[in-house]
């Protein structure tokens, strides 16, 4: 009797099966909860990093990540020089770093057998200017033993390497470091203030945009040397890099960054004014600087592109003087494989 009393009628049994099927269908069709990830980016200061400012202002990486099923939070940190960027990568306090090309090349060489750091893409091709406040300094041959040349990091920064390349060109490869003893480490804004002061012992500054252009607006400032003169053609100034581990462990996130960077570069070319406005908002720059910033991004030799340009000139020189132990066969040795970078150098 008890078994008969709990036996379901055919109608109830059919209703139960339908309800179970509905639950299973809903469970299978309900969208999976997006994965939440935090990514840390360390970068330097200046308009050479405009693509990253646009990316940050418009949340482009977050948008691309969300389309791939990832809820992304990006932490952006500005650091003063390439050495600090590389330390951040080595210690794991940053996942990606963006700075001058030569610190990336040195970290690539240093980590070839462990972290395997390589470039993701270039950011900017532009001319770096050595500016002096002295009328008697017309070429690098005019520097005296007591002169001081301000740049971000002696012997490491891309400006320091360009200065070494210029010295090797003038005095021979064995004298590439002839001017190293004159270089002093100084943040870009501090160098601008120092060179503008008549009492400062700083007699030249090797920097980047917009700091070099700020100086050239002042009377008595002159260009002693440009990186284009030394390299012989426009070359990549800034790039972004990461470890092989970050790339392989986070393939969707990595691909989302590459796509977002492409979006940012396209946005700059579509509307430079809006991109400059993004830069001003993200960096806290003065709105009064907008005309200067616009003049910089509109220069013919200031190009925002992810394709590396003339980077092998730097790599070959660093290998020649022993600053890196391995001479790369091509630029593709120190950049990750991506079809969009075809045509680089």
In the chain, which residues have pLDDT < 70? 1-34, 339-340
For residue 14 the two structure tokens come to: 């059919």
This model's pTM is above 0.85? yes
What are the boundaries of each domain within the chain?
A: 35-126+236-341, 129-231
- pLDDT of 158-201, one tens digit each? 999 999 999 999 999 999 999 999 999 999 999 999 999 888 88
- pLDDT of 28-74, one tens digit each? 444 455 678 999 999 999 999 999 999 999 999 999 999 999 999 99
Question: CA 23 to CA 77: how far, in whole Å?
Answer: 47
Question: CA 236 to CA 183: how far, in whole Å?
Answer: 22
- The reported pLDDT for the residue numbered 12 is 39
Looking at the DSSP bridge assignments, the partners of residue 73 are: 38
For residue 248 the two structure tokens come to: 């392989």
- The reported pLDDT for the residue numbered 280 is 98
- The reported pLDDT for the residue numbered 340 is 61
Class of the 129-231 domain?
alpha beta
Fold entry, domain 35-126+236-341: D-Maltodextrin-Binding Protein; domain 2 (3.40.190)
Residue 301 has φ and ψ, to the nearest 5°, of -95, 10
Decide whether 35-126+236-341 matches 129-231 in CATH topology: yes
């Amino acid at each position: 009797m008890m078994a008969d009393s709990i036996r379901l009628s055919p109608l109830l049994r059919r209703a139960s099966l339908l309800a179970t099927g509905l639950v299973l269908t809903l469970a299978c069709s309900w969208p999976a909860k997006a994965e939440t990830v935090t990514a840390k980016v360390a970068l330097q200061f200046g308009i050479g990093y405009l693509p990253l400012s646009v990316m940050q202002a418009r949340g482009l990486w977050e948008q691309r990540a969300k389309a791939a099923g990832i809820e992304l939070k990006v932490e952006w940190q500005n650091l003063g020089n390439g050495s600090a960027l590389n330390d951040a990568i080595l210690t794991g306090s940053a996942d990606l770093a963006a700075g001058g090309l030569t610190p990336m090349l040195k970290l690539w060489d240093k980590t070839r057998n462990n972290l395997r750091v390589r470039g993701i893409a270039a950011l900017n091709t532009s001319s770096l200017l050595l500016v002096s406040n002295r009328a008697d300094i017309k070429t690098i041959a005019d520097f005296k033993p007591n002169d001081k040349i301000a740049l971000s990091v002696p012997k490491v920064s891309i400006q320091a390497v360009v200065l070494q390349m210029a010295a090797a060109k003038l005095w021979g490869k064995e004298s590439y470091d002839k001017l190293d003893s004159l270089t002093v480490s100084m943040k870009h804004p501090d160098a601008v203030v120092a060179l503008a002061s008549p009492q400062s012992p700083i007699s030249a500054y090797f920097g980047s945009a917009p700091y070099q252009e700020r100086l050239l607006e002042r009377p008595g400032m002159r260009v002693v040397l440009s990186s284009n003169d030394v390299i012989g053609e426009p070359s990549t100034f800034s790039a972004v890099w990461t470890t092989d581990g970050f790339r392989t462990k986070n393939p969707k996130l990595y691909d989302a960054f590459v796509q977002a960077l492409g979006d940012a570069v396209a946005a700059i070319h579509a509307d430079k004014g809006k991109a400059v406005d993004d830069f001003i908002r993200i960096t806290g720059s003065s709105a009064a600087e907008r005309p200067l910033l616009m003049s910089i991004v509109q220069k013919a030799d200031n190009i925002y592109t992810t394709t590396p340009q003339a980077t092998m000139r730097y790599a070959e020189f660093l290998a020649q003087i022993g600053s890196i132990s391995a001479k790369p066969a091509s630029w593709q040795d120190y950049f990750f494989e991506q079809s969009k970078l075809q045509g680089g150098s």
